[in-house]
């Protein structure tokens, strides 16, 4: 059985639609990030591991009454605690969080106060998860996450430069950046928190998007090597079409596994799998709609300037 | 043309056996439970999967520097006295302070010598140069007081040593908790920070009391009598607390109790934390009071003897965690052992002696972050993660069979072997499986499928181009190989960077992803090829592969 036997879609002819599509989502994400920035001082809602603060996840024997818990915490002298139902209501869980504290010693006090208040009012509240993060650590993590992302992109750029040519690396990295931007934008738009595990997911999607792009680039390189008469746009179109079957299959299957993670992975993996669900869709799209057209645009620009009109073909390594 | 595949098949079977051993070792039986036990003893679960406590501590190294310069100041004083050089005082002009928000101030690295007469200037200078120039920058001398500033390099080395000592001490202490496989290590993200991971522990309070009881036991000389509060004490000392004196509150358990009293103590400790060699709980034979008997190290013992013999009939205070626990009168010279007689509870006596035995923390610790994951949440997470992974794998496998028919078996076998190798790797390398790690496994499956899809699609293309079965398989593999290498290396590069610069969950993810991809190069390309070749061997001439 085969889905795509011989397709001949003119992908490059649709580049303006692609550009429009990418722009709409990027700009929507950016605007949403701007709104968040003006409200909470960061482009996306941050999880407690970045933001700092205290989070206590408690499970009760019976359905918890959020208002009563809030009253209990206030009675215990804890101001501005937020109390929300966690996960699906049937699991009887609530998440109580305190905002970031000025210094580390008052953090711990907050956690103890919450636990004491609950113990005083409820029979056997089971504390399932406690996170107390001081301002220092949150900041360190932010810096580290950013550093890791940029470095991994730089690492891939260098590898592609070495295996293909600089322009291939640049195009692939731009595509990855595009994917990251839109995925983070999706978090901003849906108001979901970015935690450390979400960062892991974003880094994965960078790898994935790169993977997809390389498959197309590899084919372009091979085709350029085989036929020197064809124009670059034709070669690129043909390469995308030839790999289309693989692209759709792989993305589809990976999407299925990630979707199963999103559906069955539970609350803890929600953010992680959400990032991947978005990331895989957008990563597949960007290899065809961002990375490949960039190669062509670059070459056309070089020709327009009267520069060397050679195709950005690299020698395909010996098989 | 038939290929001889015997050796290749042997290699694959060997790899399969080795990594299966990696996962289960040699199980005690063949029952389901025995197998499960065998697996869980080899594959280590992260805190998020088995529950436990995770702490990040800041070692307040400035305190160690402060304590060090305190000692040096005392030594300088002795040296100058010994050389009969006149001076008015050796002080620390800006000793370490800490405000209520926990911010440190002062310049603990400075020592100042006041009132050296101009005549002995050069003698003092040469004494300082000969003894302290290695560790301190020495300045001043003519009109200004001599100032010793600890060299930044020495400061850095001392900080490192302090963190190392703190790690050792914490390690000893958490071992006394009976935690299996605790992890105490430098935390790479910030300076002078320590990461503590205690699987299976969810009672944070208990952990913190054990780790943090600064039980920095020190013995200080008492200046004057106890005062009612700090203000009275300051007034009695002439309006300001002299730089070589510090104030400490009394907090003997159950003692005068609510009556808080303040003692003025000499800043430099006579005996400090690392001077204690051993400590044991005991009871006083006369009064029946609980006591802690301690022994000092040889060097500290001599110092203590020297001090007590010269200061008979003065008081010394035993300071614990910055509070005075007992004040004792020196009745006679004490050598290297003694008894603390304060009013202790039974637990306190036991804790105290345990803590003294494991060594004192060289500086106090602050908690930057703590997380506890309840065991039940861990179990829920692992169930959800495994369920998602299993469903994902099954769906993918079913699809491959459906879409590629005969060759789908090939892909599914490769996928299965990939999982075995990945888990076996984890068993051998003692890597920890975390929740993001499970996600890494799922992504490895995705990449594994991708490799197979790349190869199969290519083979189909070659068949469409009119090639015979063997040639099509050959060309398909050859062409796809280049792409597979490129995609895998790029992903491994980014996973390696994650491993180097990431921490915690990110690291666990990078580890499984890297292992998985490496395994995939073997299974999706090598193993899959061997299966194809075996299949081709059986094909009659002109027959096509099922793809």
What are the CB-based long-range contacts (under 8 Å, 24+) for A10-19? A10/A237, A11/A236, A11/A237, A11/A240, A11/A241, A11/A288, A11/A289, A11/A292, A11/A293, A12/A233, A12/A236, A12/A237, A12/A292, A12/A293, A12/A296, A14/A289, A15/A289, A15/A293, A18/A289, A18/A290, A18/A293
Q: Which domain holds residue B423?
A: 6-50+374-538
| Nearest CB partner across the interface for B491, out of A128, A153, A207 | A207
Query: Which of B160-164, B317-321, B399-403 is predicted with the least confidence, judged by mean pLDDT?
Result: B317-321
Structural contact between residues B55 and B203, judged by C-beta atoms closer than 8 angstroms: no
Confidence of residue A284 (pLDDT cuts 50, 70, 90): very high
A1 in any annotated domain: no
* Listed residues A99, A133, A167: the one ending a domain: A133
**Does A246 share its domain with A112?**
no
Confidence of residue A30 (pLDDT cuts 50, 70, 90): very high
Q: Which has more confidence, B322 or B153?
A: B153
**Does B255 share its domain with B353?**
yes
Query: Cβ–Cβ of B504/A257 closer than 8 Å?
Result: no
Take residue B162 and report the two structure tokens written for it: 């302090």
A153 in any annotated domain: yes
Q: Structural domain tally of chain A?
A: 2
Mean pLDDT value across residues B521-527:
89
Residue B39: the pLDDT is: 79
| Interface subset of B 406-445, CB within 8 angstroms of A | 435-436, 439, 442-443, 445
d(CA A47, CA A40): 13
pLDDT more than 90, % of chain A: 26
**Does A27 share its domain with A168?**
yes
Closest residue in chain B to residue A271, using alpha carbons only? B436
The helix (H) or strand (E) run that includes residue A117 is: helix A104-121
ipTM of the complex: 0.81
Query: Cβ–Cβ of A207/B495 closer than 8 Å?
Result: yes
Confidence of residue A319 (pLDDT cuts 50, 70, 90): very low
Structural contact between residues B226 and B315, judged by C-beta atoms closer than 8 angstroms: no
- Three-state SS string across B393-414, please? HHHHHHHHHHHHCHHHHHHHHH
Rg (CA), chain B: 34
A103 in any annotated domain: yes
| Interface subset of B 191-230, CB within 8 angstroms of A | 202, 204-205
**Does A127 share its domain with A233?**
no
Query: Cβ–Cβ of B498/A159 closer than 8 Å?
Result: no
Structural contact between residues A127 and B205, judged by C-beta atoms closer than 8 angstroms: no
Query: Residue B112: which residues within 8 A CB-CB, separation 6 or more?
Result: B90, B91, B92, B93, B145, B146, B147, B148
**Does B366 share its domain with B379?**
no
Q: What is the DSSP letter of A289?
A: I
d(CA B422, CA B513): 9
Confidence of residue A19 (pLDDT cuts 50, 70, 90): very high
Strands A126-133 and A53-59: antiparallel
pLDDT in tens, B440-492: 787 788 888 889 999 999 999 899 888 888 899 999 999 999 889 888 888 88
pLDDT in tens, A262-273: 888 777 778 888
| Interface subset of B 443-482, CB within 8 angstroms of A | 443, 445-447, 449-450, 453-454, 457, 460-461, 478-479, 481-482
Closest CA to B377 of A125, A128, A265, A266: A128
**Does B150 share its domain with B34?**
no
The CATH number covering residue B245 comes to: 3.30.1360.200
| Interface subset of A 45-104, CB within 8 angstroms of B | 57, 59, 102-104
**Does B128 share its domain with B257?**
no
* Listed residues A100, A133, A166: the one ending a domain: A133
**How far B32 CA sits from the closest chain A CA (Å)?**
25
| Nearest CB partner across the interface for A250, out of B202, B388, B450 | B450
Q: Which domain holds residue A93?
A: 53-133
Q: Is B45 helix (H, G, I), strand (E, B) or coil?
A: strand
Closest CA to B145 of B90, B227, B107, B70: B90
Residue B142: the pLDDT is: 72
pLDDT in tens, B156-215: 999 998 898 888 888 877 776 667 778 888 887 778 889 888 887 777 777 777 777 655
d(CA B214, CA B229): 24
Residues, chain A: 319
Please check the confidence at residue B542 and state whether its pLDDT lies above 60.
yes
The CATH number covering residue A92 comes to: 3.30.70.3400
* Listed residues B332, B352, B370: the one ending a domain: B370
Closest residue in chain B to residue A267, using alpha carbons only? B381
Structural contact between residues B151 and B136, judged by C-beta atoms closer than 8 angstroms: yes
CB < 8 Å to A131, chain B: 369-371
Please check the confidence at residue B216 and state whether its pLDDT lies above 70.
no
Q: Structural domain tally of chain B?
A: 3
d(CA A94, CA A69): 9
**Does A221 share its domain with A300?**
yes
**Does B223 share its domain with B147?**
no
**Does B365 share its domain with B228?**
yes
**How far B275 CA sits from the closest chain A CA (Å)?**
29
**Does A215 share its domain with A251?**
yes
| Interface subset of B 52-111, CB within 8 angstroms of A | 56, 58, 101-103
Write down the mean pLDDT value for chain A.
82
Structural contact between residues B516 and B440, judged by C-beta atoms closer than 8 angstroms: yes
Please check the confidence at residue B48 and state whether its pLDDT lies above 90.
no
Interface test mutation site (partner B, options A53, A147, A257, max chain B beta carbons within 10 A): A257
| Nearest CB partner across the interface for B450, out of A137, A140, A211 | A211
Query: Cβ–Cβ of A159/B489 closer than 8 Å?
Result: yes
B122 in any annotated domain: yes
pLDDT in tens, B408-443: 998 999 989 998 998 898 888 877 787 777 777 877
**Does B219 share its domain with B324?**
yes
Whether chain A has a CB inside 8 Å of the CB on B502: the answer is: yes
Mean pLDDT value across residues A123-140:
76
- Count Cα atoms within 13 angstroms, Cβ side, for A14: 12
**Does A98 share its domain with A230?**
no
Query: Cβ–Cβ of B502/A134 closer than 8 Å?
Result: no
d(CA B271, CA B276): 8
B148 in any annotated domain: yes
**Does A191 share its domain with A222?**
yes
pTM: 0.73
Closest CA to B15 of B537, B358, B527: B527
**Does A183 share its domain with A196?**
yes
**Does B226 share its domain with B359?**
yes
Residue A283: the pLDDT is: 92
d(CA A201, CA B531): 34
The number of beta carbons lying within 10 Å of the beta carbon of residue B127 is 17
Mean pLDDT value across residues B56-61:
88
| Angle (nearest 5°) at CA B389 between B385 and B392 | 140
A48 in any annotated domain: no
Write down the mean pLDDT value for chain B.
81
Residue B40: the pLDDT is: 77
The helix (H) or strand (E) run that includes residue B318 is: strand B315-320
**How far B23 CA sits from the closest chain A CA (Å)?**
24
| Nearest CB partner across the interface for A133, out of B369, B395, B403 | B369
The helix (H) or strand (E) run that includes residue B279 is: strand B276-283
| Nearest CB partner across the interface for B190, out of A132, A136, A319 | A136
B244 in any annotated domain: yes
Closest residue in chain A to residue B400, using alpha carbons only? A253
Mean pLDDT value across residues A99-120:
68
Residues, chain B: 547
**Does B33 share its domain with B85?**
no
Q: What's the sign of the alpha-carbon dihedral B489, B520, B44, B18? A: negative
**CA B348 to centroid of chain Cα atoms:** 27
**Does B352 share its domain with B391?**
no
Take residue A218 and report the two structure tokens written for it: 């590899």
Q: In chain A, where do the E strands start and end?
A: 53-59, 82-86, 93-98, 126-133
Please check the confidence at residue A102 and state whether its pLDDT lies above 70.
no
Structural contact between residues B324 and B248, judged by C-beta atoms closer than 8 angstroms: yes
**Does B292 share its domain with B304?**
yes
pLDDT in tens, B137-173: 988 877 788 899 999 999 999 999 889 888 888 887 7
Structural contact between residues B174 and B168, judged by C-beta atoms closer than 8 angstroms: no
Mean pLDDT value across residues B529-539:
88
CB < 8 Å to B100, chain A: none
Closest CA to B80 of B41, B43, B111: B111
What totals of helices (H) and strands (E) does chain B contain, helices first?
Answer: 16, 20
Whether chain A has a CB inside 8 Å of the CB on B396: the answer is: yes
Closest CA to A275 of A185, A215, A150: A185
Q: Which has more confidence, B460 or A5?
A: B460
* Listed residues A133, A168, A196: the one ending a domain: A133
């Amino acid at each position: 059985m085969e889905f795509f036997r011989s397709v001949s879609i003119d992908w490059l002819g649709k580049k303006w639609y692609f550009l429009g599509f990418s722009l709409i989502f990027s700009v929507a994400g950016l605007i949403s990030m701007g709104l968040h920035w003006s409200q909470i001082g960061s482009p996306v809602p941050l999880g407690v591991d970045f933001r700092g603060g205290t989070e206590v996840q408690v499970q009760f024997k019976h359905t918890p009454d959020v208002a009563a818990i809030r009253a209990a915490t206030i009675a215990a002298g804890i101001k501005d605690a937020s109390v929300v139902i966690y996960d699906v209501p049937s699991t009887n869980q609530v998440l109580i969080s305190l905002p970031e504290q000025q210094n580390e010693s008052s953090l711990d006090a907050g956690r103890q106060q919450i636990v004491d208040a609950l113990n005083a009012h409820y029979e056997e509240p089971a504390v399932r998860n406690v996170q107390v993060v001081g301002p220092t650590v949150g900041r360190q993590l932010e810096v580290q996450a950013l550093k890791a992302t940029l470095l991994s992109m730089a690492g891939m750029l260098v590898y592609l430069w070495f295996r293909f040519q600089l322009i291939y690396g640049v195009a692939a990295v731009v595509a990855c950046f595009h994917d990251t931007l839109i995925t983070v934008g999706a978090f901003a738009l849906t108001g979901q928190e970015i935690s450390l595990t979400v960062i892991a997911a974003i880094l994965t999607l960078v790898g994935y998007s790169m993977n997809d792009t390389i498959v197309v680039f590899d084919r372009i390189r091979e085709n350029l090597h085989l036929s020197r008469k064809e124009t670059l746009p034709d070669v690129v179109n043909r390469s995308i079409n030839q790999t289309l079957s693989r692209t759709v299959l792989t993305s589809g299957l990976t999407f299925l596994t990630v979707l199963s993670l999103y559906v069955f992975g539970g609350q803890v993996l929600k953010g992680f799998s959400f990032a991947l669900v978005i990331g895989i869709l957008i990563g597949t799209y960007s290899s065809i709609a961002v990375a490949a057209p960039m190669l062509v645009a670059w070459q056309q620009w070089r020709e327009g300037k009267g520069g060397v009109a050679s195709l950005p073909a690299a020698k395909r390594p010996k098989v | 043309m038939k290929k001889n595949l015997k050796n290749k098949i042997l290699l694959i079977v060997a790899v399969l056996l080795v990594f299966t051993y990696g996962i289960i070792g040699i199980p005690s039986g063949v029952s389901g439970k025995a197998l499960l036990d065998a697996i869980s003893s080899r594959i280590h679960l992260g805190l998020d999967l088995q529950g436990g406590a995770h702490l990040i501590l800041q070692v307040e190294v400035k305190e160690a520097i402060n304590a060090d310069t305190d000692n040096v100041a005392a030594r300088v004083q002795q040296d100058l006295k010994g050389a009969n050089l006149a001076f008015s005082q050796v002080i620390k002009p800006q000793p370490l302070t800490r405000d209520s928000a926990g911010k440190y101030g002062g310049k603990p690295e400075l020592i100042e010598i006041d009132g050296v007469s101009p005549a002995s200037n050069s003698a003092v200078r040469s004494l300082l140069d000969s003894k302290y120039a290695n560790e301190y920058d020495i300045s001043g001398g003519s009109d200004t007081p001599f100032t010793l500033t600890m060299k930044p390099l020495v400061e850095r080395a001392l900080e490192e040593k302090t963190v190392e000592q703190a790690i050792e001490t914490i390690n000893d202490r958490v071992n006394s908790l009976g935690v299996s496989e605790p992890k105490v290590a430098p935390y790479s993200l910030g300076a002078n920070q320590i990461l503590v991971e205690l699987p299976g522990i969810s009672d944070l309070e208990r952990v913190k009391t054990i780790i943090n009881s600064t039980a920095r036991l020190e013995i200080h000389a008492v200046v004057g009598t106890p005062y009612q509060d700090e203000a009275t004490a300051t007034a009695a000392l002439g309006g300001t607390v002299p730089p070589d004196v510090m104030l400490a509150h009394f907090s003997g358990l159950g003692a005068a109790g609510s009556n808080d009293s303040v003692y003025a103590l000499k800043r430099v400790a006579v005996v400090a934390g690392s001077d204690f060699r051993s400590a044991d709980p005991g009871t006083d034979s006369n009064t029946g009071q609980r006591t802690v008997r301690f022994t000092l190290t040889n060097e500290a013992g001599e110092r203590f003897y020297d001090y007590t013999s010269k200061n008979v009939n003065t008081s010394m205070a035993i300071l614990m965690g910055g509070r005075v626990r007992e004040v004792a009168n020196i009745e006679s010279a004490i050598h290297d052992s003694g008894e603390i007689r304060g009013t202790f509870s039974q637990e306190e006596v036991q804790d105290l002696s345990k803590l003294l035995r494991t060594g004192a923390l060289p500086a106090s610790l602050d908690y930057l972050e703590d997380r506890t994951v309840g065991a039940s949440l861990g179990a829920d997470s692992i169930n959800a993660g495994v369920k998602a992974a299993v469903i994902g794998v099954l769906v993918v496998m079913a699809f491959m069979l459906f879409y590629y028919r005969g060759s789908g078996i090939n892909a599914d076998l490769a996928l299965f072997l990939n999982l075995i190798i990945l888990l076996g790797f984890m068993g051998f390398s003692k890597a920890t499986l975390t929740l993001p790690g499970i996600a890494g496994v799922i992504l490895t499956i995705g990449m594994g499928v991708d490799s197979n899809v790349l190869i199969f699609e290519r083979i189909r293309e070659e068949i469409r181009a009119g090639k015979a079965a063997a040639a099509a398989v050959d060309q398909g593999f050859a062409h796809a190989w280049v792409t597979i290498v490129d995609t895998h290396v790029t992903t491994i590069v980014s996973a390696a960077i994650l491993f180097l610069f990431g921490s915690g969950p990110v690291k666990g993810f990078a580890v499984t992803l890297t292992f998985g991809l490496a395994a995939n190069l073997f299974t999706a390309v090598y193993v899959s090829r061997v299966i194809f070749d075996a299949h081709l061997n059986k094909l009659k001439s002109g027959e096509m592969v099922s793809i």
